[in-house]
């Protein structure tokens, strides 16, 4: 199954009764393994989590810590970019060269690097004093 197919499949499991906006994400780790996540909303709205965050959690739980590629899919007129918080979450495990593919349900895709989506990312190296 391709990364896009995995993202589309996990999107079906999204719990999005409040927004009605289901999102699926699939990460290919440097190990070659694929990890998937969907958005999980909550009646206490701020407690909801994005699909990317779910995929990252599944990846880390499975023992991978390096993202090689990620695909995000949603039913939208244009490919949906990860939210700002998820860009930062991705940057914990992905370098600026990592491709982020955004896809619509009708098959349109847009691929950008994480560095294009999150220039001058904050990372632990920014905290170095010397």
Shortest distance in whole angstroms from residue 123 CB to ligand THU: 20
* 52 labelled catalytic: yes
Shortest distance in whole angstroms from residue 120 CB to ligand THU: 20
Single residue of 4, 9, 13, 48 touching ligand THU by CB under 6 A: 48
CA 109, CA 91: separation in Å to the nearest integer? 21
Shortest distance in whole angstroms from residue 127 CB to ligand THU: 27
User: Token pair 């023992």 is at which residue?
Assistant: 63
Q: x-or-dash pattern for ligand THU, window 5-24, by CB under 6 A? A: -----------x--x-x-x-
Active-site entry in 52, 78, 97, 116: 52
- Cβ(2)–Cβ(101) below 8 Å: no
Tell me if 110 contacts ligand THU by CB under 6 A: no
Tell me if 115 contacts ligand THU by CB under 6 A: no
Burial, 74: exposed, middle or buried (Cβ in 10 Å; 0-12, 13-18, 19+)? Answer: buried
What are the strands of the beta sheet with 99-104, ordered from one edge? 34-38, 23-29, 67-74, 99-104, 109-113
Strand residue runs (E) in 1-130: 23-29, 34-38, 67-74, 99-104, 109-113
- Give the three-class secondary structure for 76: coil
> What is the footprint of ligand THU within residues 49-108 (CB under 6 A)?
50-52, 72, 80, 82-83, 86
Residues with catalytic roles = 52
Binding-site ranges for ligand THU (CB under 6 A): 16, 19, 21, 23, 39, 41, 48, 50-52, 72, 80, 82-83, 86
């Amino acid at each position: 199954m391709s990364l896009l197919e995995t993202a589309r499949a996990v999107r079906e499991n999204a719990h999005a009764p409040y927004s009605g906006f289901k999102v699926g994400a699939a990460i290919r780790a440097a190990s070659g393994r694929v990890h998937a996540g969907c958005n999980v909303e909550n009646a206490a709205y701020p407690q909801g989590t994005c699909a990317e965050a779910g995929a990252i959690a599944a990846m880390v739980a499975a023992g991978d810590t390096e993202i090689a590629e990620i695909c995000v899919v949603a039913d939208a007129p244009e490919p949906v970019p990860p939210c700002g918080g998820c860009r930062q979450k991705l940057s914990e495990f992905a370098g600026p060269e990592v491709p982020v593919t955004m896809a619509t349900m009708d098959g349109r895709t847009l691929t950008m690097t994480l560095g294009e989506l999150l220039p001058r990312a904050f990372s632990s190296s920014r905290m170095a004093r010397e």
